[in-house]
Amino acid sequence: MLEIRKRNDAFKFLHHFIVLMEGQAIGFGQYYCCADAEEEWYGEVQLNEIYSIDYLIGEEAQLGKGFGTGIVGLLTEAVFQKNNSKRIICSAGT
């Protein structure tokens, strides 16, 4: 929740989205420029051209219905509208 509390300060580089279905929140998505995240796991790459996306479906009943695919598509579209974007990474989670 630190990211939410400091979204206008230390984490202003994050672009958060809530996924709604019929007015109910069922998921979450975000993207950010890797250079702004100041994380060490990226290795030796041109970070100002790489964006990371994260997403989840938080309602088990909505899994397997294509919402994740839709979220990835929308996040990808938003990232590639940025002038400097060349690549997107997304780490798998469980």
**Model confidence, pTM:** 0.81
Residue-level pLDDT at 44 = 65
d(CA 89, CA 41): 12
Residue spans of the domains in the chain: they are 14-64+79-94
Residue-level pLDDT at 94 = 52
Residue-level pLDDT at 83 = 83
CATH number for the domain formed by residue range(s) 14-64+79-94: 3.40.630.30
- Residues of the chain short of pLDDT 70, as ranges, are 40-45, 92-94
